[in-house]
Structure 1
Amino acid sequence: MLNIDLVFEILGWAGSLLLVISILQTRIVWLRVLNLAACVVLLVYNFWLPSWPMIAMNAALVAINVVNLVRLRSATVPNVQGSVQKSHDSPAGRRSGTAESGGTIRR
């Protein structure tokens, strides 16, 4: 018989591992995607516990990651030839720390 408590414990550890892996990313898009996935997994785990402070924090992080992924996606616009260029009006285009400005975090 499958022990549901064990399944959720494994889910919690998997979410935590995914969170750590997300923080190790040097590409901001991968960091956001993996962090979003980790927060969703941890939301499920924390609803099972239930741990309301952790639910609130992970829900907020889901929203932050989604908003930032949308901004990153809109920061690149296709030009007439079909290649992608940075929009000069986007927050991502003005940030320091991108590969174009010599920083270590890449899109």
Structure 2
Amino acid sequence: MTRTTNDPHGLLFRSPMHHTSERELLMTAPTDPAVPQQASVTGSTTAWVPWLLTVVLFSLVVAMSVGILKSLDGAGWAEAVLSGGTAFGTSIGICLGVMAAVRELKRPR
């Protein structure tokens, strides 16, 4: 299946029987040198790996703590696991939200 010319993100498709003409290929090619190209994100991606690992480990510590406290309180095994899972999901969501907010605040304007 090929992309349509008015669909830069490839969401609309034509039938496989449609052959893309040379004119259509030229219309979709980037030709404006004034438009800045996407910068490589390999350096920034590598810097986020330790932070993501830290967030996951911190969330695991929070989940284990909640699960242990819940089981010491007299709750059953299933309830302790559910509480720990809820704590993990909540803490990882908060941490990822904070990381996104810091990234946006550090972005040059």
Task: Please report the TM-score for the alignment, with normalisation by the length of structure 1.
Answer: 0.32
Higher RCO by CA contacts (8 Å cutoff, separation 6 or greater): 1
- Of structures 1 and 2, the larger Rg is shown by 2
Query: Relative to total residues, which structure has the larger strand share, 1 or 2?
Result: 1
Task: Please report the TM-score for the alignment, with normalisation by the length of structure 2.
Answer: 0.31
